[in-house]
Chain A
């Protein structure tokens, strides 16, 4: 018995195309001098790519909510680690 409908091959391929496009986008944007914005764009695109992989390739889109919580927790705790440390490093000098 299959719990969830199996996604079509087309979906996977489209996600892959989107990932490659985002890769080209981040690569291209890196060659434009946007100052501090570059880092933001790069990270936003990386987050978008990670989201695509997690939601489609890793099936979080159709997973039990506990699995989504587990995934989110990992990233959230990393944000805590870096974010609260920045209360020190970002204002040290």
Chain B
């Protein structure tokens, strides 16, 4: 392997300041920034919808918005948060930024595809926002037939096309990650020296390329059925609505792992760093990531226990769902064991990461409640499910996303933020989150169905608690926006490795040069060698 020396040409941020230099960039780091800006915008659009939903639910009567508006609000909340925030969140921003840096490459394998993926994302977003402006969609993010094809009078097709397009953005990202991780590792960077974040990006890539095309074709079939009144889903045409559900969840369940696997990768980077300890059981962590990605494809039918699918299918999908929980449990235990005999400090990223572990544990355990057949019959489509998946996707994925942003912020921007504010924000998010979503577990067991804009009065206390928590959570999400932006101008300059972390990305200046490395590094030791590093640093 030749080690090509590249002259240092200043940081990637200084490679051009015009708008066009950003819109035409093929630098993975700049594309990551483009993605970060766009997903943040979508996060706040989805957040506004969530705010209105929680406000409406303060009282049992449907008094703030009409039923129609409410249905459009939760649909847009779901569509935007799932496809335009959560799925691209960690992979397309931090993954894009870090994959080449962490494996010691100059860029992703296909930089132009990478830029194309961002443009597809924007095009898909425009269609979806277009559907929103034109009057909204009221099918729920799940687009269940025959409601979405034959009965809804809203702009289903525009929204479906938006999601169809953004799917190809995911596919391109997935191809790029898989090829880059296989073919472009630095000398000495063997598979089992890869940081776990890279393993999680690899697993995410697999899910992107294998699940997304199925969704794309399914959405195409929905569109045709809606436009022409012929298709395979409507029973009035001899079709089967459960066929849609199988196809939809074949994508959408693995998509949940697209949200949580990167979060696990982030926790696996942060926890060893602030524990100054080697990660516990590196290999089983890597295998667990792969196992989750693969078994995660075999469990989709647990969304359909009461849908009318056969009880045998229910049994098969139930047992497989329990199996996929085993590697997740292993990961939680291993993170905990990583703390053992460490030297732990509690900087903001660590608080987010520990918060992630706790909330993910609750989310994962309640997921097992739902995988239990007899219990799911009662809990399905209630607020218990809402609480469960928000613990995974918001408590898990968003906490980890924030942790990752804080951890790599100095690397990305070259600036330090206020750690005191950041720790405060982490605690606000954690408290606000639990206050918002824990009451929903109780609501669900009491029997409150999801997607209700009015509800019986005995559910009010818990709903008020939840809405109160949501306002705390909103503050928690606005805080980082403020102090992180502040740091861009006033923050102290960050050195190349402010956290004394291992990993190749910390061996290059912050912010990194255009070509990532002055010369491609050679890897000689396993990842997370914190004990060895601290010993040699003294």
B-contacting residues of A (Cβ < 8 Å)?
66, 73-74, 77, 80-81, 84-85, 87-89, 91-92
Task: Provide a sorted-by-A list of 5 A–B residue pairs whose CB atoms are within 8 angstroms.
Answer: A80-B297, A87-B312, A87-B317, A88-B246, A92-B309
Closest 3 CB pairs of A and B: A88-B313, A87-B313, A88-B309
Main SS class of interface, A: helix
Complex contacts, B182 vs chain A, CB 8 Å: 66
Q: A88-B309, A88-B312 are known; give 5 further A-B pairs, CB within 8 A.
A: A81-B214, A88-B242, A88-B310, A89-B310, A91-B312
- Selected from A73, A77, A87, A89, the residue in CB contact (under 8 A) with B316 is A87
Complex contacts, A87 vs chain B, CB 8 Å: 301, 310, 312-313, 316-317
- Selected from B250, B297, B298, B301, the residue in CB contact (under 8 A) with A88 is B301
Q: Complex: how many Å from CA A11 to CA B309? A: 49
A41 nearest CB across to chain B (Å):
26
The answer to whether B323 has its CB under 8 Å from any CB of chain A is no
The answer to whether B210 has its CB under 8 Å from any CB of chain A is yes
Q: Is the CB of B298 within 8 A of A91?
A: no
Q: Is the CB of B309 within 8 A of A84?
A: no
Complex contacts, A66 vs chain B, CB 8 Å: 182
Q: Complex: how many Å from CA A9 to CA B214? A: 38
A25 nearest CB across to chain B (Å):
31
The total of chain B residues at the interface (CB under 8 A) is 19
Q: Could you tell me which residues of chain B, from 167 to 193, have a CB within 8 Å of some CB in chain A?
A: 182
Q: Which residue of A lies closest to B297 (CB)?
A: A80
Q: Is the CB of B214 within 8 A of A84?
A: no
Q: Could you tell me which residues of chain B, from 234 to 281, have a CB within 8 Å of some CB in chain A?
A: 240, 242, 246-247, 250
Q: Which residue of B lies closest to A88 (CB)?
A: B313
Most chain-B Cβ atoms within 10 A of its Cβ — which of A73, A77, A84, A88? A88
Q: Is the CB of A85 within 8 A of B310?
A: no
Complex contacts, B247 vs chain A, CB 8 Å: 81
Complex contacts, A92 vs chain B, CB 8 Å: 309-310
Complex contacts, A74 vs chain B, CB 8 Å: 210
**Chain B 292-322 near chain A by CB (<8 Å), digits 1 or 0:** 0000011011001000011011001100000
Q: Which residue of A lies closest to B304 (CB)?
A: A88
Q: Is the CB of B246 within 8 A of A85?
A: yes
A72 nearest CB across to chain B (Å):
12
Complex contacts, A85 vs chain B, CB 8 Å: 246
A40 nearest CB across to chain B (Å):
23
Q: Complex: how many Å from CA A80 to CA B310? A: 17
Q: Which residue of B lies closest to A70 (CB)?
A: B178
Complex contacts, A80 vs chain B, CB 8 Å: 297-298
Complex contacts, B309 vs chain A, CB 8 Å: 88, 92
Q: Which residue of A lies closest to B311 (CB)?
A: A91
Q: Which residue of B lies closest to A81 (CB)?
A: B250
Q: Is the CB of B210 within 8 A of A73?
A: yes
Q: Could you tell me which residues of chain B, from 306 to 347, have a CB within 8 Å of some CB in chain A?
A: 309-310, 312-313, 316-317
Most chain-A Cβ atoms within 10 A of its Cβ — which of B214, B309, B313, B316? B313
B88 nearest CB across to chain A (Å):
22
